[in-house]
Structures are given as C-alpha cells and as structure tokens.
Structure 1
Amino acid sequence: MGDEASGDGGPPVRTALPEPTTAASLPSQAQHGRRATVAVVGLGYVGLPTALSLHAAGHLVIGVDTSEPRLGDIRSRRVDLLPSHHGRLSAALHDTGFRLTADPAAVAGADAVIICVPTPVDEQLVPDLHALTAACSSAVAHATRGQLLVLTSTSYVGTTRDLLAEPLTARELRPGTDVFVAFAPERIDPGNPAHSPDRTPRVIGGVTPRCTELTASLLAGTASSVHRVDSPEAAEMSKLWENTFRAVNIALANELAENCLAFGLDPRHVIEAAATKPYGFMPFHPGAGAGGHCIPCDPHYMLWQLRARKAASPLVEAAMTAIAERPALVAKKAREALAARGLGTTGSRVLILGVAYKPGVADLRESPALEIMDRLAAWGVTVEYADPLVPLLDRNGVVRRSIHDPGALDWDLVVVHTVHPGAGLDWLDGGPAVLDVTHRPTVAISGAAV
C-alpha cells in the first residue's frame, strides 16, 4: 500500500486500461504497463489509503464498504488522511476508474480482492473476528476462477488458510490453481508522512509460490520493496512480531520513565542520551498508555492463540498488562498532583490536552485519554479537553466540545496527553500546574510542571 505514482497528490498519469483479466495474467500485465481491476474490501484507515494507492498506480479500483455513512464521508472528503492522500482522494472521486459501493457482490467483477477490515479485541481482550469472518466469507462466496484474494488485516497465525484457502477449496476452487491466495500485512503509520506506505517494504506470503508472485506483482508499485516469505503463516507471524516488539518496548519505556522520576531525573534527557548509541538501542518514549488499533490489540491475537495451545508467553503477558494499567496510573498521578496543591478531586478543573491516541490524527480508538477522563470524572473532577482535531467527543452519552482557547481559562491541572504538530504551548509556561505524560523533547514546558 503506498503513494508512489502520485506523491504530490495530483491525478495519476494513466495509460489505456484493458478489460478485467484473470489474476494469472497480472505479471504480464505489469510488464506491459497494463493494469488490473482491484476490489478493496473495507475502507477504513487501512483500506482507503490502500485503494487510493492502487488507483494512483493506475489500477481500476472498486472500493467496498458496507457502511453507507462511511461511504458518505469518503465522497464528501470528511476523512482522516495524510494531505497527499486527500489530493489523491479528490482525483479518484473524479475518475470513473474509482468506484465506491456497499454491495459485497461487486468483488466478483475484480481481478484481485484485497481485504482490509478491522480486527479488534473485545472488553475481555479476546479477538473479535466478526468483521473479518464476514468479509472473508463474502469474498469466498463471490470468488471467481483466476481471481487473486489477499488478506491484509492483522490476525492470528493460520487465518488466511482458515478463512480463505480452506473455504475456497470447499467450493472446489483450488488455491494456487483455480484461485490465488496470500497474506500481505498492512503497514500504515497514520498521520506520519515519513512512514507512508510507498516508503515501506511489504511482506508477502502466498499459499503457493505462484500466489506469492502474483501478489508481489500487484503490490510492487505501492511499496518501497517486496519481501517474500514461504507461507501465509510466516507473514501473519511477522506482523504479530512487529507490533508485539513495539508493545513490549512501550511498556519498558513507561517503567523506566517512572524509575527516572524516582531518581529525580527527567526521562526525556535520559532517552536522548541513550539514543546517541549508534547500535543496539532504539528509542521508545513513555506516555499515557498505548492507543490505536495495533499495539493494544495485535499481541492479544497471539496470546489468545497460545493459550489455546497451552503455551506461555510471560514477558508479553506482563507487557500487555502494564500497558492496560497505564491510564489508571496516570489518573492516579493527576489526583496526587491536585492533592499536592491542597485540592481534592471534587470540583477541581482539569484539562486533558489532546485526546487523540497519537499526534497528527483524529483517531480516538483505544486512546488512553478516554479512560483517564472517565476515572477523573468518576472522582468528581470537572474534566474538559482541548484537541483541534477532535471538535466533539461523545463519551458514555456525554458530549463534550473541545476548548478552543484553553489558555483563556483557569485550570487546576493540565494533563498533557497528545501534542499535535504545530501546537503552541507557550500559555502553559508559568501558568497552571502541568502533568506531562509525553516526556518528549518536542514538549517544552517550564515553570509549572509537576
């Protein structure tokens, strides 16, 4: 998934496109500059950039999403995308080679089907496979001979065979002969243009070598390079490994930051010093927890599967527990900061600065800020928030509006949770008490920090 053909957001340069052909001919098409018809199932934060990347690379794209409101947001451009992707969306919406539909049967007319649906966990941290199972079942039901089916959603090891290869075989469509099946995990870092998909290698594991090569041919123009592995399971595990690595290191960074504070040290200065080592170290920054769709969820797919096999992963279990407990610790630190000023929780005014789960996006999924707000409110705190990317916040039926000018109001405490690019923090200097949970060098606050 990437932005190679139209990095400036302008309309792609197209050659004449042929009628849809079979997936088996994709390599020869690519060699001659001819393109395929690709259906992208699921147009969320992964699927929409994927569809736009494929369109920018010259393919005919059918975007499929069963949510009519989501399709309406895409058509009206009310979506959270990189600036370059907004330009691509505008170009795509004016092109007959880019079609949006809520009809799952539309995939039958495609040479290739790419499945990009969410794979969350429920309140018990158990994988919620409803969307993935439904999308795969529909793709199998509408599959046609010669079609290429590629799963990108992060899931447990064996998903591609369980939900695509085996059901296709039951339909007497043999993977590798009649149809082609692969797993190619998405690698999207929302809001970060430095990590756009076209600058990122793509891992691909097909059910057969032919499946791998066909997928590589399709996706090569939307990634910096392609890395082939010998099975879907290896590709599935590679994605779980990536995000579990990040989760463990985030938990470690949070713990070491607390250790620094116990010694009266500023964690950000210590991280900067450690990061000067040119080998054997990768800087991770502490925060209020881990938000978004990946880090709080993906490792639980592996842990869930391991438990079923009576296998243990104690280090990962401990890291995920620490991550889950982090927002409660931040709320406790906020209460202690109020107490240090002689204030109780009831009636105190606390501002959460930034509620999105990471800088540069409007995404609230699994944002630690939400639990922090809930806990403070339950203790009687009057909680408000300021986030220019999230004008409205509906939490448990209570609708809040972002404070437009937080510096014009009096606060007993400001919890710095997410600092978006370009945000001005001068009003915090010498002003209200500040609990900065980001510990990042870009957050320069002096005078009133606690």
Structure 2
Amino acid sequence: MSHGEVAGHTVAVVGLGYVGLPTALALSDAGATVIGVDTSPDRLRAIARGAVDLLPLHHAQLACAVAGDGFRLTTEPSAVGAADAVVICVPTPVDARREPDLTALSAACARVVEYAVPGQLIVLTSTSYVGTTRDLLVEPLRARGLVADEDVYVAFAPERIDPGNERHTPERTPRLVGGVGPRSSRAAAALLAPTASVVRTVADPETAEMAKLWENTYRAVNIALANELADACHALGLAPVPVIEAAATKPYGFQPFYPGPGVGGHCIPCDPHYLLWQLDKVRQQAPVVATALAANTGRPARITERALDLLARTDVSGRGARVLLVGVAYKEGVADVRESPALEIIDRLTAAGADVAYCDPLVPSVGVGAGTLHHVPDPHTRPWDLVVLHTVHPVHDLTWLCAGDAPPVLDPRQRGALATGTPAGVTAEAEVTA
C-alpha cells in the first residue's frame, strides 16, 4: 500500500468485534473498499442486518456501508490476500488461571502471514505482551521470505475503543503507531489517520505494545485504589463520592476514579495480566500491580458480602431472599457482559440461597451458573428484599425506588444514580457499604 490517501485502497479487517467493526466502518467512511473477515457466520449475519451493539453514529455508518458495494463480509481468511492493507482486531482474553489466551490472535496472525503479498501493510491492534508483533508477524513473514519494512510493512497500533461512550469515539481519540521501520510507520499512520483525531508515531512496536499495557494497568490500579479508599471512608463514617469530588478540585496531580462492584469488559480485567505473565517469565516483580489485580478480582465477593449483611440487618435471611440486580452489563450504555462482576455476584448470591433476578434492557438473557436468567421488564411490580445497583443504563427508569415502600438498595458505585432523589431504602450507611 502506498503512503497516500486511504480512498481507493482495499483494506481487510480481521475480527469484527467491538474494535474491528468500528474500525472497518471508519475506513469505509474514508473511501476504502473494506473486506470484513470474521470466523463467526452468526456475527457476520448480525452485522449485515444491523443487529450489533454500536453507537448511533456507527449504526448510521453501518447502514450506509452495507447498502453500498465497497463493504464485503466473509469468513474466508484467504480474502486478505486481495487487500492493500490488513488490520488485525481479534480478542486477547485470559484463561481461568488469568494467563494469556493467544488462541485467536495466533490463528489470525498465522492466516494473515500465510496469505500476505509483497507491498502489503499489516497492522496489529490487539492488546498483547511486549514483542507480540515480532513474534507473530515479523518472524513468520521472514520465514516466508518477506522482510518487514522492505517487502511488506508491519506495525502495531493499539486500539483505543471506549464502548458506549459518545465523547470518546475512535474518531475523536489519538492513536499510537509503532512500525518495525520508518516506512511501516508512515504507511500505518496514513492508513489510520481517518480513524483517529491524531496519529502519533513511536519508535517501534514494542513501545506501542507497552504503552497499551501501561494505559490499562494504570486504570486497573486506580480502580483498586478507589475501592479501597471508599472502604476507608466507610470505616471513618464518610461518603466517598463527596470526598472524591473535593479532591478532584485540585487542577493537577489528581484524576478521579470512583468505586464500583469490580472491573469488567475485555480490557481492564485482562490486559494487565499479560504484563504480569511476561514479567514473571523474566523474574521481574510488580507487587503493586499484582495486589491491585487481586483486589479487583475479589471485589464481587466483597459486594456479595455487603448484600448479605444488608439483608441480615433487615431481618431477611440470604436463603430465599428476593434480590434484584439493576444492570448486568459491565458498563453503562453497552450490552457486553464479558467479565462483568454481575455474573459472579449473581452466582455467589444464588449459592447463598437467594432468589436472584436482574433488569437490563440491553441484555435480554445471560448465562449464569448452570442456567440462564432473563431480563425482568417491570421490576417495580414485584416485591424485592434488596436491590443492587450494578449498572445503571441511561434507559433505566428507577423512580420506583424513590417511593416510600421501596426495598433497601445497595449502590456499589455510590454515584447518586437516581435523578429524582435518593431511594427511600438507602441509608447513608448502606450507600457506603460497597
């Protein structure tokens, strides 16, 4: 691919999840012919009919792309051979032991290498350990006789997607690019320029890889700190949020993080473990990071303990207690339940004998334990012994919790989610118990 404009070029996007699909749409909007490659036929069918979790702006882009001739969807990996550029956007989760699961990434990179052609640009965006770009792309390409930055161009450009947040769309967010050489960096920067507010080039792929791990490890550590200091506030008889807001008046050296039920989604619960895993191999300790991740992992259990304690203080046994979770997605405004703390909270409450239900208009059903729960559309019509505010979406109507006969409410986020006032069942002590 030349270093010129994106328009008129063909770009293959491998992996059409919450990162790949917006990337494909942005490239299509910039005039590129896009080949969307995904291993899941169901995902491709959902994209074709618009049944995917996107911001309204991106839904409009999708409708235009699908209606046009320059947006093709396929499960065939060989299709990347017809592209001027390939962007790899596959998931990089962790397994049950919190170790990297590179299955999808290794397979995708192997296929891209297999069908790579001279002159092609290959950009990896999936978060992984430092050295991934060289291990999975540069060296396998060399084994095929294709030298990076000479025969083909290779770069790492970490995704920066904040799902459900209209203020931080990819088009408004700066992007990093680390090429294996100057030509690779220039080609990748030119390709991604229409998809970001600005593109900054760094020295090499390893710098970009570490930058991404640093970003999300920073967030994970500060989330753990916010939860710990919220508990400290509770022990001292203080509400955490006013304290955080007071501290946030300092114009330098402070960024507000708020307490919550734990961390969820594809990034924060996973990415820092890639760093710890790699550091362990070189016998480098990171005790602050390790402690923070352990604290985040244990947060849902702590919230469950708070819920059972609150039930006991209202003379309700955990066994048979009717508990409603408001929201099960991992964050507001999205339908994603990956790594959501709600799933563990439901499992733990169920194990304690509680009758647990949830209301989340964005998540019609969710698998928990050995079964499936379904969204309760009218929770105000049922009696509850406790309501846990896990994820409050903009579409949630919680005014019923402000009535005089409302059930007790546990708010791990402590954000004052009810615009009409404090729920009748939430005491100052209950609000800060999580």
| TM-score normalised by the chain length of structure 1 | 0.93
* 3-state SS in 2 of match to 1:62: strand
For residue 262 of structure 1, report the CA deviation from its aligned partner. Answer: 1.2
Task: Assess if the C-alpha contact under 8 Å between 1:140 and 1:168 holds in 2.
Answer: yes
1:85-142 alpha-carbon deviations (Å, 9 max, x no partner): 1111110101110000000000000000000000000000000000000000000000
Match of 2:257 in 1: 284
1:435 to 403, 410, 432: 410
Letter in 2 for 1:433: P
**2:323 counterpart residue number:** 350
Q: Map of 1:203-242 to 2, 5 A cutoff? A: 203-242=176-215
- Please tell me whether residue 145 in structure 1 is matched to residue 118 in structure 2: yes
Asked if structure 1 preserves the Cα contact closer than 8 Å seen for 2:7 and 2:30, the reply is no
Higher mean displacement: 371-380 or 272-281: 272-281
2:69 match: 96
Rounded to whole Å, the distance in 2 between the matches of 1:400 and 1:446 is: 26
| 1:394-431 deviation per Cα after TM superposition (whole angstroms, max 9, x unaligned) | 22341221111111111000011000014222211231
- Aligned amino acid, residue 326 of structure 2: L
Question: Does residue 448 in structure 1 map to residue 420 in structure 2?
Answer: no
1:377 aligned to 315, 326, 350, which one? Answer: 350
Q: Could you tell me how far apart the structure 2 residues matched to 1:261 and 1:58 are?
A: 54
**Aligned AA (2:407):** P
Of 300-309 and 263-272, the range deviating more from structure 2? 263-272
CA contact (8 A) 1:268 1:441 kept: no
Query: 3-state SS of the aligned residue for 2:310?
Result: helix
Q: Provide the secondary structure at the position in 2 that maps to 1:73.
A: helix
Write the mapping of 1:23-422 to structure 2, written as runs, cut at 5 A: 23=1, 25=2, 27-28=3-4, 30=5, 34-422=7-395
Match of 1:108, SS state, is helix
State which drifts further: 221-230 or 150-159: 221-230
CA distance in 1, matches of 2:140, 2:250: 50
d(CA) in 1 for partners of 2:380, 2:246: 33
Q: Is the 8 Å Cα contact of residues 35 and 72 (structure 2) preserved in structure 1?
A: yes
Assess if the C-alpha contact under 8 Å between 2:230 and 2:259 holds in 1: yes
SS for the counterpart of 1:370 is helix
What residue identity is the alignment partner of 2:422?
I
1:441 deviates by: 4.1
5+ residue gaps, structure 2, are none
Provide the aligned length of Structure 1 versus Structure 2: 423
Provide the C-alpha distance between the structure 1 equivalents of 2:250 and 2:297, rounded to a whole number of angstroms: 30
Q: Which runs of 5+ in 1 are unaligned?
A: 1-22
Instruction: Report if aligned partners of 1:205, 1:231 keep a CA contact under 8 Å in 2.
Output: yes
Shift of 1:446: 3.4
Residues 348 and 381, structure 1, Cα contact 8 Å, conserved in 2: yes
1:35 CA drift (Å): 2.7
Question: Do the aligned residues in 1 keep the contact of 2:300 with 2:344 (CA within 8 Å)?
Answer: yes
- What is the CA-CA distance between 1:66 and the residue it aligns to? 1.0
Name the SS of the counterpart of 1:321 in structure 2.
helix
3-state SS in 2 of match to 1:311 = coil
| Equivalent position SS for 1:50 | helix
Deviation of 1:34 (Å): 4.1
Q: Take 2:233 and 2:330, find their aligned partners in 1: how far apart are those partners?
A: 24
> What CA distance in whole angstroms lies between the structure 2 residues aligned with 1:287 and 1:422?
20
Instruction: Return 386-395 or 304-313, whichever deviates more.
Output: 386-395
CA distance in 2: counterparts of 1:71 and 1:406, whole angstroms: 34
CA distance in 2, matches of 1:293, 1:448: 34
8 Å CA contact 2:22–2:58 kept in 1: the answer is yes
**Conserved in 2, the CA contact under 8 Å of 1:107 and 1:113?**
yes
2-structure distance, mates of 1:397, 1:371? 13
In the TM superposition, what is the alpha-carbon distance from 1:274 to its structure 2 partner? 1.2
Q: Quick check: 2:416–2:422 contact (8 Å CA) kept in 1?
A: no
Offset at residue 207 of structure 1 (A): 0.3
Other structure's SS at 1:376 match = helix
Q: Report the residue type matching 1:203 in the other structure.
A: L
Counterpart Cα distance in 1 of 2:256 and 2:379: 31
Distance, in Å, in 2 between the alignment partners of 1:340 and 1:144 is: 67
In structure 1, distance between residues paired with 2:399 and 2:293: 35
- Paired amino acid for 1:330: I
Amino acid at match of 2:319: T
Task: Measure, in 2, the Cα distance between the counterparts of 1:344 and 1:209.
Answer: 65
Shift of 1:442: 3.8
Give me the whole-angstrom Cα distance separating, in 1, the residues matched to 2:309 and 2:33: 57
TM-superposition CA deviations, 1:146-178 (whole Å, max 9, x none): 000000000000000000000000101000110
Indicate if the aligned counterparts of 1:425 and 1:445 stay in contact, CA closer than 8 A.
Answer: no
| Preserved contact between residue 347 and residue 381 of structure 1 (Cα < 8 Å) | yes
- What root-mean-square deviation, in Å, do the aligned CA atoms of Structure 1 and Structure 2 show? 1.0
Query: In the alignment, which residue of structure 2 is the partner of 1:9?
Result: none
